[in-house]
Amino acid sequence: MAVNPARYDIRRLGPETARPHGLSESFGRCANPAMVNPWSAWHSACTRQLYSQTENYQPERVTATVSTTDTPLNASRSGGGAGIARKAKAYLALTKPRVIELLLVSTLPTMIYAERGFPSIGLILATLVGGAFAAGSAGAFNCYIDRDIDKLMHRTEKRPLVTGEVTPREALVFSWLLGAAAIVILWFGANPLSAWLGFGAIFFYVVIYSIILKRRTAQNIVWGGAAGCFPVLIAWAAVTNTVEWPAVILFMVIFLWTPPHYWPLSMRYGEDYRKANVPMLGAIAGAKVVSVQVVLYAWAMVVCSLLMIPAGGAGWVYTVTAVLAGAWFLYESHALYSRAHREDIPDKGAMKVFHGSISYLTLLFIALAVDPFVGSAIIS
In a domain, 327, yes or no: yes
Say whether both 108 and 233 belong to one domain.
Answer: yes
Query: Both 323 and 335 in a single domain?
Result: yes
Using CB atoms within 10 Å of the CB of residue 65, give its burial: 0 to 12 exposed, 13 to 18 middle, 19+ buried. exposed
- The verdict on pTM exceeding 0.75 is yes
pLDDT tens digits, 12-46: 444 444 444 444 444 444 444 444 454 455 445 54
Dihedral (C-alpha) 11, 14, 16, 21: value to the nearest 10 degrees? -80
Same domain, 289 and 326: yes
Q: How many distinct structural domains can be found in the chain? A: 3
**Residues contacting residue 7 through CB under 8 Å, at least 6 positions apart:** none
Query: Counting beta carbons within 10 angstroms of the beta carbon of residue 216, is it exposed (0 to 12), middle (13 to 18) or buried (19 or more)?
Result: exposed
CATH number, domain containing residue 333: 1.20.120
pLDDT tens per residue, range 265-318: 888 878 888 888 888 888 888 788 889 999 999 999 999 999 999 999 999 999
- Specify the DSSP class assigned to residue 5: G
Render pLDDT for 85-104 as a digit per residue (tens, 0 to 9): 999 999 999 999 988 988 88
In a domain, 352, yes or no: yes
Q: Tell me which residue range forms the domain holding 278.
A: 244-380
**Same domain (yes/no): 124, 219:** yes
Rounded Cα distance, 264 and 283, in Å: 10
